C-alpha cells in the first residue's frame, strides 16, 4: 500500500474550509487508502462538470487523475464508486454543512438590503420506502442577488420547517440583509431571531395565522395605505403588473408587541396577462415586515424571494437532476444535496461566461483552467 502523504495546510481555499470535516471512517486499522479531502474534491469537481452519480464520479476521476493530483494527494489513485457512496452515507451532514457555510462566507459579496430567501424542498428521489425514513426535507437560505446558497438544514423527521428555520438562522451571517419567508415561517420567534441577527424580515401571511390574517384584512379594508409602488415586467410570453401597497397603521393587530420591530403591513397585487391564451389572472398576497414605509424596496424584495424557486430548486431539479437521484443510504441524500449546492454555487458565482449552466458544466469538463477558476484555485 502506498503511503498517503499529508496535504499542506492552506494548499487551496477549498481545502482550507473543509479541513475541519471529521472523517467518519474507521482509521484505527490504518487501512484508509484515500484522503477525505481528496474524495470531497473529486466529487465536487465531477459535479461541476456534469456528473450526477457515484459511478460517473469514479469515471471522471480516472480520466482526470493527473489534474486531480495537482490539487490533491490521490497517492492510491481514485476510490471506487462504492467507497465514495459509503463515505457520503456516513459523513455527518451537520459538519459538512458547517464547512460549506464557512466556505460560502469567504467568497460571498455582501450588499446592502440583500434578500435572503428561506424555503424548503423535499428530496423526492430519496424514496422513504427504501431507507425506512421520511423523504428528506431541506430548508435552504438563498442570497438572491449573488445567486448562491448560504446554508441549509434538514427538517427533523418528527418536526417541520417552523423548528428548522431558527436553527438555520443561527448559522448565518445576516446583518443588513432582508430575510423573506413564506407563511410557514410567519412566527413571532422567527421574526425575533431575524432581528437579533441584525436583519429585517418580510413574512408572508396566510390562513395558518388566522388572527393575524384577519387583522391584515381589516387594515386594508378600513385604513388608507401610506405608499404605493407599481412594477411592470415582460417576458416568457406574459406581462405582469405588481402593485405594492404599504400600511403603517397596526392598531388592528392584537399583541403586535410580540412581533419584534414590526413596522408595516404589505399587500402585493399581481396581474398577469398571458399573451398566448389571452387570459388575465389576479392574485393578492399579504405580508408583515420590519421595514418602514418603502414600497419600492418591499416590492422588489418580495419579487426577489421567488429566486429561491426559480434559481435554486429549479436548477437542482432540472440542471442537476436531484429529484431523479437514488442516493438513499444513510446520510447520502442530504450530503449529496450539500455537494450539489457547493457545485451550483461555484457555477452561479462565476459571471465570466454568458452561457447556460449546462454550457458552464461542459466548459468545466473540457477546460481545466476554467474548472480551476470555478474552484478558486
In a shared domain, residues 55 and 160? no
φ, ψ (nearest 5 deg) of residue 53: -150, 165
| Domain presence at residue 322 | no
> Smallest Cα–Cα separation from 37: which of 85, 96, 98, 118?
96
b/e per residue 218-253 (b: at least 16 CB within 10 A): ebbeeeebebebeeeeeeeeeebebbbbbbeebebb
> Smallest Cα–Cα separation from 162: which of 200, 197, 118, 131?
118
| Domain presence at residue 181 | yes
In a shared domain, residues 291 and 175? yes
Is the pLDDT score of 160 beyond 60? Answer: yes
In a shared domain, residues 201 and 148? yes
Pairing mode, if any, of strands 200-205 and 178-181? Answer: parallel
Residue 157, pLDDT score: 62
Three-class DSSP labels, the chain:
CCCCCCCCCCCCHHHHHHCCCCCCCCCCCCCCCCCHHHHHHHHHHHHHCCCCCHHHHHHHHHHCHHHHHHHCCCCCCCCCHHHHHHHHHHCCHHHHHHHHHHHHHHHCCCCCCCEEEEEEEECCCCCHHHHCCCCCEEEEEEECCCCEEEEEEECCCCCCHHHHHHHHHHHCCCCCCEEEECHHHCCHHHHHHHHHCCCEEEEEECHHHHHHHHHHHHHHHHCCCCEEEEEEEEECCEEEEEEEEEECCCCCCCCHHHCCCCCEEEEEEEEEEECCCCCEEEEEEEEEECCCCCHHHHHHHHHHHCHHHHHHHHHHHHHCCHHHCCCCCCCHHHHHHHHHHHHHHHHHHCCCCCCCHHHHHHHHHHCHHHHHHHCCC
| Domain presence at residue 298 | yes
φ, ψ (nearest 5 deg) of residue 243: -110, 120
Residue 325, pLDDT score: 47
In a shared domain, residues 335 and 276? no
> What residues have CB less than 8 Å from 62, skipping those under 6 apart?
77, 78
Q: Averaged over 192-206, what is the pLDDT?
A: 95
In a shared domain, residues 210 and 279? yes
User: 44 or 108: whose pLDDT is higher?
Assistant: 44
In a shared domain, residues 125 and 46? no
In a shared domain, residues 207 and 84? no
The CA-based dihedral angle spanning residues 9, 14, 17, 21, taken in that order and rounded to the nearest 10 degrees: -90
- pLDDT, the chain, mean: 82
Integer Cα distance of 248 and 43 in angstroms: 51
Poorest-pLDDT segment among 12-21, 239-248, 363-372: 12-21
| Domain presence at residue 215 | yes
| Domain presence at residue 3 | no
In a shared domain, residues 208 and 73? no
φ, ψ (nearest 5 deg) of residue 325: -65, 145
Condensed to tens digits (0 to 9), the pLDDT of residues 227-270 reads 999 998 877 677 889 999 999 999 999 889 999 999 999 999 99
User: 96 or 234: whose pLDDT is higher?
Assistant: 96
Residue that finishes a domain, picked among 315, 339, 356: 315
Domain of residue 101, CATH code: 3.90.350.10
For residue 82, the cross-strand partners are none
Q: pLDDT-derived band of residue 8, with 50, 70 and 90 as boundaries?
A: very low
Condensed to tens digits (0 to 9), the pLDDT of residues 37-50 reads 899 999 999 999 98
| Domain presence at residue 325 | no
Q: pLDDT-derived band of residue 348, with 50, 70 and 90 as boundaries?
A: confident
| Domain presence at residue 283 | yes
Q: Which domain holds residue 186?
A: 96-315
The whole-model pTM stands at: 0.78
Residue 318, pLDDT score: 47
In a shared domain, residues 68 and 196? no
| Domain presence at residue 324 | no
In a shared domain, residues 279 and 171? yes
In a shared domain, residues 146 and 283? yes
In a shared domain, residues 136 and 230? yes
Domains in the chain, number: 2
Amino acid at each position: 500500500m502506498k503511503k498517503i502523504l499529508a496535504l499542506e495546510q492552506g494548499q487551496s481555499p477549498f481545502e482550507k474550509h473543509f479541513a475541519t470535516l471529521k472523517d467518519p471512517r474507521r482509521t484505527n486499522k490504518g487501512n484508509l487508502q484515500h484522503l477525505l479531502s481528496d474524495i470531497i474534491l473529486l466529487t465536487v469537481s465531477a459535479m461541476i462538470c456534469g456528473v450526477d452519480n457515484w459511478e460517473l464520479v469514479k469515471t471522471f476521476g480516472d480520466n482526470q487523475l493527473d489534474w486531480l493530483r495537482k490539487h490533491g494527494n490521490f497517492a492510491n489513485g481514485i476510490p471506487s464508486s462504492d467507497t465514495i457512496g459509503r463515505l457520503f452515507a456516513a459523513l455527518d451532514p451537520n459538519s459538512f454543512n458547517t464547512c460549506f457555510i464557512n466556505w460560502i462566507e469567504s467568497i460571498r459579496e455582501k450588499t446592502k438590503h440583500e434578500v435572503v430567501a428561506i424555503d424548503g424542498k423535499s428530496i423526492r428521489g430519496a424514496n422513504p420506502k427504501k431507507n425506512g425514513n421520511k423523504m428528506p426535507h431541506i430548508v435552504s437560505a438563498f442570497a438572491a442577488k449573488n445567486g448562491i446558497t448560504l446554508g441549509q438544514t434538514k427538517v427533523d423527521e418528527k418536526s417541520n420547517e417552523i423548528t428548522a428555520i431558527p436553527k438555520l438562522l443561527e448559522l448565518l451571517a445576516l446583518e443588513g440583509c432582508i430575510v423573506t419567508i413564506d407563511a410557514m415561517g410567519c412566527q413571532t420567534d422567527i421574526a425575533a431571531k431575524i432581528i437579533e441577527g441584525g436583519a429585517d424580515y418580510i413574512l408572508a401571511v396566510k390562513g395558518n395565522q388566522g388572527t393575524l390574517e384577519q387583522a391584515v384584512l381589516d387594515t386594508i379594508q378600513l385604513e388608507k395605505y401610506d405608499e404605493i409602488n407599481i412594477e411592470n415586467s415582460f417576458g416568457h410570453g406574459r406581462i405582469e403588473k405588481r402593485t405594492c401597497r404599504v400600511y403603517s397603521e397596526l392598531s388592528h393587530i392584537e399583541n403586535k408587541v410580540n412581533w419584534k420591530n414590526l413596522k408595516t403591513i404589505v399587500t402585493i397585487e399581481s396581474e398577469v396577462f398571458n399573451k398566448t391564451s389571452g387570459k388575465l389572472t389576479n392574485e393578492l398576497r399579504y405580508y408583515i415586515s420590519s421595514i418602514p414605509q418603502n414600497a419600492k424596496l418591499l416590492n422588489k424584495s418580495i419579487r426577489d424571494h421567488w429566486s429561491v424557486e426559480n434559481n435554486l430548486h429549479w436548477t437542482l431539479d432540472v440542471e442537476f437532476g436531484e429529484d431523479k437521484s437514488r442516493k438513499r443510504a444513510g446520510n447520502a441524500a442530504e450530503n449529496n444535496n450539500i455537494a450539489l449546492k457547493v457545485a451550483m454555487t461555484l457555477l452561479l458565482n462565476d459571471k465570466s461566461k454568458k452561457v447556460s449552466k449546462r454550457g458552464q458544466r461542459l466548459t468545466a469538463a473540457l477546460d481545466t483552467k476554467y474548472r480551476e477558476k470555478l474552484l478558486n484555485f
